[in-house]
Structure formats: structure tokens, C-alpha cells
Structure 1
Amino acid sequence: MKNLLARLRPFALIAGFGGLVAVLALAAVLDLGFGQDLLMVAPHNPGTVEVNRALYLEGDSVAELYGNPLDKPVRLIGPDPARIIRPQEDTALMLFTVDKQQGENPLQARTVWLFAKAAMLGFGLLGLAGLVFPRKRSAPMPPDLSRVAADS
């Protein structure tokens, strides 16, 4: 059994700590490279949006013109550009239309990080196990025959 663990040690070290770094890098690239902060809204039909925009007064909630805001802005990974609305009333605000009743659930950055943390925990434990596994024993050194020959 010790021989098997000693043979698995390099794999556990490389796969464990390498996987940990790879998962961390992948999650960071997805979040920083493909993420956007958007306010998700359940969209109104186009007729309702036109009426709301006609009745809009300065100080009213802009997000409610286009739909029912679901919560606060969230970071979405790779959102569909066709579903992003930049309202004329507030160009700094970016809305993302999503119909939760039809099961639309865009990928959020916090979901990516949740799975990344779980994977990093697993890879980290594998790497730590590799540190605990015994090392291969080197073959015993042959006796030094030069000293024996010199004595004779």
C-alpha cells in the first residue's frame, strides 16, 4: 500500500495544486473577462413600456418603466447582448430582461465562484494528500568496495 501511495504522490501534488490554480484562473477569467453588472428585470410588453415612458417624470424609477426589477444589480457571465437595455432616461443604468417564470436563469458570477470554491477545496485537499503520501524510497546504496580493496 505504501508503494502505491508513493507512486501516486507526484500525481496528487501536480493534479491537486495545478487544478487549484487552474480553477482559480478560470473563474477569474470568466468573471473579469466576460462578466457585466446588470439589473435584471421581468420585462413589460412593448405597449406598456411606451405608456410608461410617456408618463415618466424625473425622479421616477427608470427600471420600472421597462419591467419589474428583480433585486439589485448582479454580475452576469456572458449575457446575451440582444437582451440588454440601456434606457434613454438613465444611460448609466443597464437592464437585462429575464423571464423567471419561463425558467430563464442567466449564469451569475456568484454561481461560478461557488462552484470554483468547491472545486478548489477538492483540488487543495488532493494536493495536501500528496504532501502526506510517503516518498519513494531510493534503492539502498551498495557497499563501498573501494575501501575493502584498499584494506587488502
Structure 2
Amino acid sequence: MSYRIFSVLGGAFLMLVLTACNQPQLVGDVAETQTFKAGSPQKNESNETVKKFVARGNEPFWTIKANEEILTWITPENLQGRQLKVDKVISAGNVKYIGVDGNNDFSLLIIQAPCVDTMSGEVFDFESVWAHGRERNVGCAASGS
């Protein structure tokens, strides 16, 4: 009887480990990356203007409204939001906004993959990864303003 329980638990643990290894990474393939300066015309491979995004995450709660030049970083402590100037990098269908805030580097990576909000259960078209200094948070994103 205990052998069956350990087999099931071991299988569940293995599944958890394999799933955790398949998480998005912040660093992409540099050889396939195009970099654009903030404010310059930004086109993807199909010659369309890059979309704006709204990314958000839970625990800690955060929202980022991203456009061509500025990220507005909204937290419960700062509901007005903090504006951060960015450069934008487009890579293999993903969008990555990067910049520097004082002594901290930051990036917002938007990954074209389905994402389910951990609190509401709402489904989004994009995953997001927000890194500021040494902090890294994952969430979901939608195209929009």
C-alpha cells in the first residue's frame, strides 16, 4: 500500500519538476534580436506597428502600461504610476522593453503564449515577465492602451 502512495507522489513530483523547467527565460536569442531606440519607428517582421500592452501580476500586485517609449508602472502603493523611459527589443515574436531606473536595470518581456491569471482565472493572449533590479515577477498581458 505505501509503495503505491510513494509511486504516485514520486510521479507527481517529477511532473512538477518538468513543468517548472519549462518556464520562460528573460534572455532570448541575441542573434535573432532587433533593437530599436525609444521614439524611433518600430516595426515587426510583418511591417506592422508594434502593439501597446498592459501587463499585470499578483502577489505582489503590479500593472504596467507599455507603449512605444514609456512604461507606466502601477502598484498599490503608487496608483498614479511611475513612468520609466525605455528602449524596445523585438525578438522572435516576443516584445521586450528595457531600460534603467536609477541604479536598477528593468525589463518587461511579453511572450505570445496563453496565460491564466492566478487570482481571477481570466485567460490572456500573452505571458509577461517584469524584472526590476533583483526582483522578478511573472504575470499575464493583453494588447491595448
> TM-score w.r.t. structure 2 length?
0.28
Structure number with greater CO (CA < 8 Å, separation at least 6) is 1
- Structure number with larger C-alpha Rg: 1
Name the structure where helix makes up a greater proportion of residues.
1
